[in-house]
């Protein structure tokens, strides 16, 4: 063991004599701090802004004057998606999805005002965040400082001397790996401190933070292994550098773009426009809920009359218009659900395909793990939309119930009469309270990505060990 640590110490000393390593580490740390501070502040501002908007929307909803309940159902409500504090670590798709959801009766609207449509194309260069620094830049620095770890010894002839002194190839490789992983840990340190700070201050739960930390440790270990492996396999340090840069370019820059692009053309999504037309057609076929004499609602009328044992809707103890609204909303919501679910499923299918490609490029795996752990992935966004939809349905049905109970049919169907119910009703409506995904779901969703990272690390470890063994036997 002491041989290995001695080798590691030597390599470590060499690393810190290397200007590239020191300057690179300093710059990376600086960048990480800037990224963390900026992301943290942005996240805090965004949350404050959304909370303010939500309060304003709640206030406006509750301060409505006396109104007809159906008027209120169309006045609708605005819901804002709060961000997980961990999103400071990895904003994920947050800038791409709108965070403002307008809900109203018999309509499902899209979330609007995502940053992506409000920015110049500069956003498309990526977002500065700790996740970006660790996923993209940290492996590159590892390549710069580590590509010569073994190749240098070979080039200068010291490899032969070391081996002749009785050091085994495996010990040498392990020592180099230890040094490089130590360096990687230094790069990771600011991020780990940031996570620890978030947990300690009670802003983030410890479980997802730990998952995140473990994921990135594994990710950088994987790259340390890759660097040492290629440094030992290739004869010259320059070749090792070029090969590693090629691996990095393909794995970190090229594939993460190429794969999603191919997936989206292989499994295209229906456009919003087409969906809207299809939904509207089926919606019209459901009958007109605004019109109690609509033929498609005749059967419904019969069943209601029978239920109350009366022959005319005027004799019902409740307002029939409200009941029709209730039934219409139920039917239309079923219809919207069907289309929305189909779109969500299609998107999930696309993402699954990308996730499978993580076997080719583990970058996709660490990205999945990171976004899912902090709740800035599509699944968690879907979770918000679905909660918003549930809230919408309950809100509208509550209003329909108010219409059927608080207004008389004779009044409600008189076009010359203004029908309003007291504004006090709006103040008793529950507010939207977003519940983040349960942790168990997060674990389940990140499991395949974790597996990919583990298998890659295991594979590289086996190959590196093999390379180490060969290093000792081949005569230099």
Partner 1 sequence: MKGILCELRLILRSRLSVASLLLLFMLAALAVLSGLREVASQHETLARVAPLNKQDLASVETRYPQDANGGYPAYYSFHNTWDPPSNAAFLALGMRDVAPYMLRIRALGLQAQLYEGETFNAELALPGRFDFAFVLIYLAPLFVIALLHDLVSGERQSGRLRLLLAMSDGKRLWRRRVALRYGLLLICLGLPALVGALIAGMAAGALAMTLAVIASSLAFWFGLSLLVTARGWRSSATATVLMSAWVVLTLVVPTLANVMLNRSIPVHQGVDLMLAQRQAVHGAWEIPRQETMQRFYANHPQWQDSAALPPTFHWKWYFAFHQVGDESVADQVRAYRAGLLQRQVWSDRLGWALPGVGAQAILHRLADTDLQAQLAYQDRIGVFHQQLRDFYYPYLFNEQPFGRQDYASQPQFTPREPSAYAFQPSAWGGLALAWLLFMLGGWQLAQLRPNQQ
Taking the least distance from each CB to partner 1, the nearer of 110 and 390 is 110
| Site track for partner 1 across 171-200, x = CB under 8 A | ------------------------------
* Binding footprint of partner 1, residue count (CB under 8 A): 93
Taking the least distance from each CB to partner 1, the nearer of 18 and 205 is 18
Task: Decide: is 416 part of the binding site for partner 1 (CB under 8 A).
Answer: yes
What residues pair up with 100 in beta bridges, in sequence order? 80, 112
Task: Decide: is 92 part of the binding site for partner 1 (CB under 8 A).
Answer: yes
123-161 as b/e: b if 16+ CB within 10 A: eeeebbbbbbbbbebbbbbbbbbbbbbbbbbbeeeebee
Taking the least distance from each CB to partner 1, the nearer of 6 and 352 is 352
| Site track for partner 1 across 54-83, x = CB under 8 A | --xx--x----x-x---x--xxx-x-----
Q: 48, 284, 298, 454: which one contacts partner 1 (CB under 8 A)?
A: 284
Cβ 67 to partner 1, closest distance in Å? 7
Judge whether 468 and 232 are in contact, CB under 8 Å: yes
The whole-angstrom separation of Cα 88 and Cα 198 is 10
Task: Decide: is 132 part of the binding site for partner 1 (CB under 8 A).
Answer: yes
Q: Is 29 exposed, middle or buried (0-12, 13-18, 19+ CB in 10 A)?
A: middle
Task: Decide: is 121 part of the binding site for partner 1 (CB under 8 A).
Answer: yes
Residues in 350-389 that interact with partner 1 by CB under 8 A: 350-351, 354, 371, 377-378, 381
Residues 6+ apart with CB under 8 A from 130: 32, 35, 36, 39, 88, 89, 90, 190, 191, 194
Task: Decide: is 293 part of the binding site for partner 1 (CB under 8 A).
Answer: no
Q: 116, 192, 196, 461: which one contacts partner 1 (CB under 8 A)?
A: 116
Collapsed DSSP state (helix, strand, coil) of residue 462:
helix
The whole-angstrom separation of Cα 216 and Cα 135 is 8
Q: CA 154 from chain center: how many Å?
A: 45
Judge whether 95 and 76 are in contact, CB under 8 Å: no
Interface segment toward partner 1; rule CB under 8 A; list 116-124, 175-183, 298-306, 466-474:
116-124
Of 179, 228, 234, 158, residue with least CA distance to 17: 179
Cβ 420 to partner 1, closest distance in Å? 10
Q: 25, 33, 185, 245: which one contacts partner 1 (CB under 8 A)?
A: 245
Task: Decide: is 242 part of the binding site for partner 1 (CB under 8 A).
Answer: yes
Cβ 241 to partner 1, closest distance in Å? 5
Cβ 291 to partner 1, closest distance in Å? 12
Judge whether 377 and 369 are in contact, CB under 8 Å: no
Task: Decide: is 87 part of the binding site for partner 1 (CB under 8 A).
Answer: no
Residue whose entry in the numeric block shows the structure tokens 């203004």: 418
| Sheet with 107-112: strands ordered across | 77-80, 100-104, 107-112
The whole-angstrom separation of Cα 176 and Cα 171 is 9
Task: Decide: is 112 part of the binding site for partner 1 (CB under 8 A).
Answer: yes
Task: Decide: is 265 part of the binding site for partner 1 (CB under 8 A).
Answer: yes
* Cα-trace Rg, the chain: 30
Task: Decide: is 232 part of the binding site for partner 1 (CB under 8 A).
Answer: no
Task: Decide: is 124 part of the binding site for partner 1 (CB under 8 A).
Answer: yes
Task: Decide: is 247 part of the binding site for partner 1 (CB under 8 A).
Answer: no
Task: Decide: is 272 part of the binding site for partner 1 (CB under 8 A).
Answer: yes
């Amino acid at each position: 063991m002491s041989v290995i640590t001695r080798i590691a110490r030597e390599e470590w000393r060499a690393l810190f004599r290397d200007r590239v390593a020191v300057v690179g580490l300093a710059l990376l740390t600086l960048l990480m701090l800037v990224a963390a501070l900026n992301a943290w502040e942005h996240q805090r501002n965004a949350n404050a802004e959304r909370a303010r908007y939500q309060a304003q929307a709640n206030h406006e909803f509750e301060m409505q004057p006396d109104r007809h309940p159906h008027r209120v159902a169309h006045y609708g409500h605005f819901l804002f998606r709060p961000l997980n504090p961990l999103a400071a670590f990895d904003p994920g798709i947050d800038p791409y999805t709108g965070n403002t959801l307008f809900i109203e009766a018999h309509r499902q609207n899209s979330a609007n005002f995502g940053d992506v449509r409000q920015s110049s194309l500069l956003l498309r260069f990526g977002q500065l965040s700790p996740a970006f620094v660790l996923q993209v830049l940290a492996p590159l620095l590892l390549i710069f400082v580590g590509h010569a770890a073994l190749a240098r010894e070979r080039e200068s002839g010291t490899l032969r001397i070391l081996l002749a002194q009785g050091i085994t190839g495996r010990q040498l490789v392990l020592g180099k790996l230890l040094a490089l992983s130590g360096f990687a840990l230094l790069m990771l340190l600011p991020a780990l401190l940031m996570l620890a700070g978030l947990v300690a201050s009670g802003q983030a739960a410890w479980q997802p933070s730990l998952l995140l930390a473990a994921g990135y440790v594994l990710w950088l270990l994987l790259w340390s292994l890759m660097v040492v492996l290629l440094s030992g396999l290739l004869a010259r340090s320059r070749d090792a550098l070029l090969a590693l840069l090629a691996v990095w370019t393909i794995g970190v820059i090229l594939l993460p773009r190429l794969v999603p692009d191919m997936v989206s053309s292989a499994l295209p999504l229906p456009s919003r426009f087409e969906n809207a037309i299809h939904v509207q057609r089926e919606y019209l076929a459901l009958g007109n809920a605004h019109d109690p004499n609509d033929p498609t609602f005749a059967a419904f009328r019969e069943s209601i009359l029978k239920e109350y044992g009366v022959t005319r809707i005027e004799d019902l103890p409740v307002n029939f218009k409200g009941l029709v609204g209730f039934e219409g909303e139920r039917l239309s919501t079923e219809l919207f659900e069907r289309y929305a679910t189909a779109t969500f499923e299609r998107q999930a299918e696309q993402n699954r395909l990308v996730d499978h490609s993580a076997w080719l490029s583990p970058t996709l795996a660490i990205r999945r793990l990171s976004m899912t752990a902090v709740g800035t992935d599509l699944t968690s966004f879907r979770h918000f939309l679905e909660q918003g939809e549930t809230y919408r349905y309950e809100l509208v049905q509550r209003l329909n119930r108010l219409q059927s109970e608080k207004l008389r049919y004779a009044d409600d169907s008189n076009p010359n009469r203004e029908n309003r119910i007291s504004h006090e009703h709006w103040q008793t409506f529950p507010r939207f309270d977003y519940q983040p995904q349960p942790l168990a779901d997060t674990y389940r969703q990140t499991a395949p990505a974790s597996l990919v990272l583990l298998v890659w690390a295991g594979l590289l470890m086996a190959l590196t060990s093999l390379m180490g063994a060969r290093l000792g036997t081949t005569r230099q």
